[in-house]
A and B are shown apart, each in its own frame.
Chain A
Amino acid sequence: MNKPIVFHYIAKIMLTSSALFLLPCAVSFYYHEKRIAMIFLLIAIIMAVIMAPLTAIKPKNKQMYAREGLVIVAMLWVIFSVIGALPFYFSGEIPHFIDAIFESASGFTTTGSTILTDVESLSRGMLFWRSFTHWVGGMGVLVLAIAILPTSNEAMHLMSAECAGPQVGKIVPKGKDSARYLYIIYAALTVLTIIFLLIGGMPLFDSVCHAMGAAGTGGFSIKNTGIAFYNSAYIDGVLTVSMILFGVNFSMYYFLLIRRF
């Protein structure tokens, strides 16, 4: 096992993903939740400050095999679950750390179970972060990393470890480009869902959170009563359709787009 390279990649991916915290930070700031915004910002900064020097250590042996890929992927899921729990814990909105981890793991793995009895008591920033974990987890943390990171062949091993199943779902020759196209489709569909929810009279914040929940096929809601809160057949319909669309293999959309079916 080439431990230095495993270490190097994890550090690199963590450094990139520290940027994930900036989005909920901006949302909190927008809704005047200064304390929550500061927590997100601090986590992002601390993570970047710790990881940046670690990525500078270049491993001598750059050889990477499927083994290393599997280890990186497995470790990242655990690490993400823990890191994702930090905002819940530090904001005090989920006082027990174990509970926070449960919530975050449930979010990233798009499981959708929750320990919260009163979701509505959470701040807007936290609600957004909860749904955002669904959105990121829906496509896979690593696909995001592959799309962003300037890696070449090594990404292959990560990708084949990340994607369950015998064949890597490639739509264009380069893994990195494939990941990018998939993310563009994913993001576009999410925006579409948001627009349709807005037309149904759902507030913007609620639309974004629910669209992200549907995109990850997870199901976190921001209301205690879930979608029933809105009491609208139209909204039920929009979400049902979007759930089905997000459940389909994304390669299909690509081939639909380039009219090669």
Chain B
Amino acid sequence: MKIVIIGCGKVGTSLCSSLGNEDNDITVIDSDPKALKRVSDTQDVMCIEGDGANADIQYEANVNKAGLLIATTPNDELNILCCLIAKRLGVKRTISRVRNPVYFKQMDLIKEDLGLSMVINPELITADEIFRILMFPAAARIDVFAKGRMELVEYRIAEGSPLEGKTLAEVYKKNNVQYLICAIERESNVFIPSGDFILRAGDRINIAASHENLEKFFRTMGTLKNKARTVMLIGGGKICHYLTNRLTESGVRVKIVESNFEKCRQLAEELPKATIIHGDGTEQELLEEEGLVDVDAFISMTGIDEENIIMSLYAKKNSDAKIITKINRDSYNDLAAQMGIDCIISPKQLTASTILSYVRSIDTSTSNSIEALYHIVGNKVEAIEFRVNEDIKDLVGVPIRELKLKKNILICAIFRKRNVIIPNGSDTLEIGDTVIIIQKDHRIFDLEDILD
């Protein structure tokens, strides 16, 4: 598909690399030649210098023949304008980033008039993600499948965990809970494991199961934590604003530490239920004084990655709280993970992966059996939801162990009527089922594609 991206900042660049790897023709428009140079040096994209809202420039970028335009300039109004012009020029779909909470709130009113296919608010997505984690703090990350019937959580195996040194087959045999470990991250590699895979401390495993089974699993592991009741937030930006609203709505007590006095006053007006503290979050004494030891969750999300990492390290050392760290630079992720900060949130990555999922779902909408598609494990693994219909007789009724699957493909779950089946070798696929396939390195458009 031909894609035009306006604005090559952090999100734009990361979209270039993830979309460019998927056979899309990408053209980038930006008014800053230096930013363009940076992208064109590393990515196979075409760059055009100029104002994205200029119809001539858009015409030069062949917007009229493109399938998608993504506007990610720093300016909301400009983004919307770009999309509006592109739509007039004949682009099929447009995605605009809108950060201003006021604009975003009324987007539903004007979305259709503006012809926008999708409006994305990075801070809101990030706040939602953090909120989901706080509701289930044992996991480092949660994805929800099939309208909430199945969840996929990321969990880091600690030193001395009962899982350490066991093969998956042993782990499954030991506790009588229905779940499946469907992807394992070790350092920067991702594995789709088979039964003889041996777990090690430090592995980040992705577990698929229903919510009740996950609770059971974490209970047997002895790591079940109840949802957070008190939360401390450092940095009062937009994410903090959205997150506090959601948290206070569900009865969580929120304490916000912010160093800018004016901002504190504004926050106090806007968020009457939260406690606002004017002070520097990097001062350890202040954190102690405000009860770091007693909070259930500690979230550092100032604008500076390094500060966030340092604060999280300190908090980890001094309390049992669930720690969530906002890190914008990809290159810090591995480093921070090695230091034991396992729950990292990156607004840039979340935005890019949301857009990527959307693009992939346009791509695959030609195939009628795909219901939904998710990117998990840092976009390295795909989970695809298929409907099993009559066209794929080869697969129906055959026990899974007799299917010759391609490498790095796993049948993760089967939904039959109201039941969730985590399949073992003797289960079969039946017509009418919905099935979730976990895969890496392939391009799967049809359920038949999983066969070797």
- A151-176 contacts to B (CB < 8 Å): 152-153, 155-156, 160, 167-168, 170, 172-176
What are the 4 tightest A-B residue pairs by CB atom distance, in nearest-first order? A173-B25, A173-B46, A156-B44, A175-B44
What are 5 inter-chain pairs, A to B, with CB distance below 8 A?
A152-B21, A153-B21, A155-B44, A156-B42, A173-B25
Question: Size band of the A side of the interface?
Answer: 10 to 19
Task: Give 1 or 0 for each of B2-44: 1 = CB within 8 Å of chain A CB.
Answer: 1000000000000001001100011100000000000011111
CB atoms of A170 and B46 under 8 A apart = yes
A173 to chain B, nearest CB (A): 4
Known interface pairs A153-B21, A172-B25; A160-B41 also in contact (CB < 8 Å): yes
Give the Cβ gap from B150 to chain A, nearest Cβ, in Å: 34
| B45 contacts A by Cβ under 8 Å | yes
Interface flag for A66 (CB, 8 Å)? yes
CA distance in complex: A94, B2 (Å):
51
Cα distance A160–B37 in the bound complex, in angstroms: 12
- Give Cα A110 to B45, complex, Å: 30
Inter-chain contacts of A152 with B (CB < 8 A): 20-21, 44
Residues of chain B within 8 A (CB-CB) of A153 are 17, 20-21, 42-44
A155 to B44, CA, bound (A): 8
How many chain B residues touch A (CB < 8 A): the figure is 15
Complex: A160 Cα to B40 Cα, angstroms = 9
Closest to A153 in B: B44
CA distance A25 to B26 in the complex (A): 41
Contact of A174 among B41, B42, B44, B60 (CB under 8 A): B44
**Residue contact B27 to A168, C-beta cutoff 8 Å:** no
Q: How far is the CB of A164 from chain B (nearest CB, A)?
A: 16
Contacts of A260 in B (CB 8 A): 60
Prevailing SS type, chain A contact patch: loop
Residues of chain A from 62 to 118 with CB closer than 8 A to chain B in the complex:
66
Bitwise interface map of B from 236 to 273 toward A, beta carbon under 8 Å scored 1, else 0 = 00000000000000000000000000000000000000
Chain B residue with Cβ nearest A171: B46
Give A174 to B45 CA distance when docked, in angstroms.
6
> A174 to chain B: which residues have CB within 8 Å?
25, 44
In the complex, besides A66-B41, A155-B44, 17 extra interface pairs with C-beta distance below 8 angstroms are: A152-B20, A152-B21, A153-B17, A153-B21, A153-B43, A153-B44, A156-B44, A160-B41, A167-B40, A173-B25, A173-B26, A173-B44, A173-B45, A173-B46, A174-B25, A174-B44, A177-B25
CB atoms of B46 and A156 under 8 A apart:
no
CA distance A260 to B60 in the complex (A): 9
Q: How far is the CB of B277 from chain A (nearest CB, A)?
A: 45
Q: A residues within 8 A CB of B27?
A: 173
Q: How far is the CB of A260 from chain B (nearest CB, A)?
A: 8
A179 CB, nearest partner CB in chain B, Å: 11
Tell me which residues from 168 to 193 in chain A have a Cβ below 8 Å from any Cβ of chain B.
168, 170, 172-177
Q: B51: shortest Cβ distance to chain A, in Å?
A: 19
Q: With A153-B43, A156-B42 known to touch, is A173 a contact of B21 (CB < 8 Å)?
A: no
Partner among B17, B40, B46 whose Cβ is within 8 Å of the Cβ of A172: B46
Contacts of B41 in A (CB 8 A): 66, 156, 160
Most buried by B among A153, A155, A173, A177: A173
Q: How far is the CA of A14 from the CA of B202 in the complex (A)?
A: 43
CB-CB < 8 A to B40: which residues of A? 156, 167-168
Give complex CA distance A95, B25 in Å.
Answer: 50
Q: How far is the CB of A61 from chain B (nearest CB, A)?
A: 12
| Contact mask for chain B residues 50-69; partner A; CB cutoff 8 A; 1 contact, 0 none | 00000000001000000000
Are B43 and A156 interface neighbours, CB within 8 A?
Answer: yes
Task: For A176, list chain B residues within 8 Å (CB).
Answer: 44
A211 to B43 CA separation, bound complex (whole angstroms):
36
CA distance A168 to B20 in the complex (A): 17
Most buried by A among B21, B40, B46: B46
CA distance A156 to B44 in the complex (A): 6
CB contacts (< 8 Å) of B21 on chain A: these are: 152-153
Which of A66, A168, A173 sits near B2, CB closer than 8 Å? Answer: A173
Question: In the docked arrangement, what's the CA distance between A175 and B17, Å?
Answer: 14
Give, as a whole number of angstroms, the nearest-CB distance from B433 to chain A: 36
B-facing residues in A209-257 (Cβ within 8 Å) = none
Which residues does chain A contribute within 8 Å of B44, judged by CB atoms? 152-153, 155-156, 173-176
Shortest Cβ distance from B2 into A: residue: A173
A178–B25 Cα distance when bound, in Å, is: 11
Complex-state Cα separation, A173 to B23, whole angstroms: 11
Central interface residue in B20, B21, B44, B46, by most chain A CB within 10 Å:
B44
A175 partner residues in chain B, CB cutoff 8 A: 44
CA distance A152 to B21 in the complex (A): 7
Please name all residues of chain A whose beta carbon is closer than 8 Å to the beta carbon of B17 when the two chains form the complex.
153
Q: Write the chain A residue with the least CB distance to B22.
A: A152
Chain B residue contacts of A170, Cβ below 8 A: 46
Cα of A153 to Cα of B2 in the assembled complex, Å: 17
Contacts of A66 in B (CB 8 A): 41
Q: How far is the CB of B18 from chain A (nearest CB, A)?
A: 12
Chain A residues lying within 8 Å of B60, measured Cβ to Cβ, are 260
* Interfacial chain A residues near B46, Cβ < 8 Å: 170, 172-173
Nearest CB on A from B331, distance (A) = 13
The smallest C-beta distance from B227 to any residue of chain A, in angstroms, reads 42
In whole angstroms, how far apart are the Cα atoms of A152 and B18 in the complex?
Answer: 12
